Amino acid sequence: MNAYINSVIERVKKKYPEQPEFCQTVEEVLSSLEPVVERHPEYEKVDLLNRMVEPERMFTFRVVWQDDNGNWHTNTGYRCQFNGAIGPYKGGLRFQPNVNPSIMKFLGFEQTFKNSLTGLPIGGGKGGSDFDPTGKSDDEILRFCQSFMQALYRYIGPDVDVPAGDMGCGGREIGYLFGEYRRLKGVFENGVLTGKGFSYGGSLIRPEATGYGSVYYLENVLRDDGQDIKGKTIACAGFGNVTWGICKKATELGAKVVTLSGPDGYVYDPDGVNTPEKIAYLVTMRNSGRNKVQDYADKFGVEFFPGEKPWGVKVDICMPSAMQNDVHMEDAKKIAANHVRYYIEVANMPTTNEALRFLMDQDDIIVAPSKAVNAGGVATSALEMSQNSERLVWTEEEVDAQLRNIMNTIYKNSVDAAKRNGLGYNLVAGANIAGFERVADAMMQQGVF
Ligand code: GLU
Q: Which residue has a Cα nearest atom 10 of ligand 1?
A: 378
The strand pair at 317-319 and 303-306 is best described as unpaired
Atom nearest to 115 CA in ligand 1: 10
How far apart CA 363 and CA 34 sit, in angstroms, is: 22
pTM of the predicted model as reported, rounded to 2 decimal places? 0.97
Report the catalytic residues: 126
Quote the ligand 1 centre to 173 CA distance (angstroms). Answer: 14
How confident is the model at residue 178, as a pLDDT? 99
Helix (H) or strand (E) holding 209: helix 206-224
CA-166 nearest atom, ligand 1: 1
Q: What is the pLDDT of residue 73?
A: 98
Spatial distance between the Cα atoms of 180 and 160, rounded to a whole number of angstroms:
18
- For atom 9 of ligand 1, the residue with the nearest CA is 91
What pLDDT score does 223 carry?
98
Give CA–CA dist 328/326, Å, rounded: 6
DSSP 3-state of 305: strand
Q: What is the pLDDT of residue 23?
A: 98
The CA-to-CA distance between both ends of the chain, in Å, stands at 27
pLDDT band at 137 (very low <50, low <70, confident <90, very high): very high
Q: 359-377, pLDDT tens digit by residue? A: 999 999 999 999 999 999 9
Distance (angstroms) between ligand 1 centre and the Cα of 374 equals 9
Please report, rounded to a whole number, the percentage of residues in the chain having pLDDT higher than 70.
Answer: 100
Residues with CB under 6 A from ligand 1: 90-92, 164, 166, 194, 348, 377-378, 381
Q: Which atom of ligand 1 is nearest to the CA of 374?
A: 10
> Quick one: average pLDDT of 423-437?
98
In 10 A of CB 151, how many CB atoms?
16
Expressed in angstroms and rounded, the spacing between residue 243 Cα and the centre of ligand 1 is: 15
- CB-count exposure of residue 384 (10 Å: 0-12, 13-18, 19+): buried
- Report the helix count and the strand count for the chain, using DSSP H and E: 18, 12
Q: For residue 327, what pLDDT is reported? A: 97
pLDDT tens by residue, 146-193: 999 999 999 999 999 999 999 999 999 999 999 999 999 999 999 999
Give per-residue pLDDT as tens, 77-104. 999 999 999 999 999 999 999 999 999 9
Q: What pLDDT sits at residue 229?
A: 98
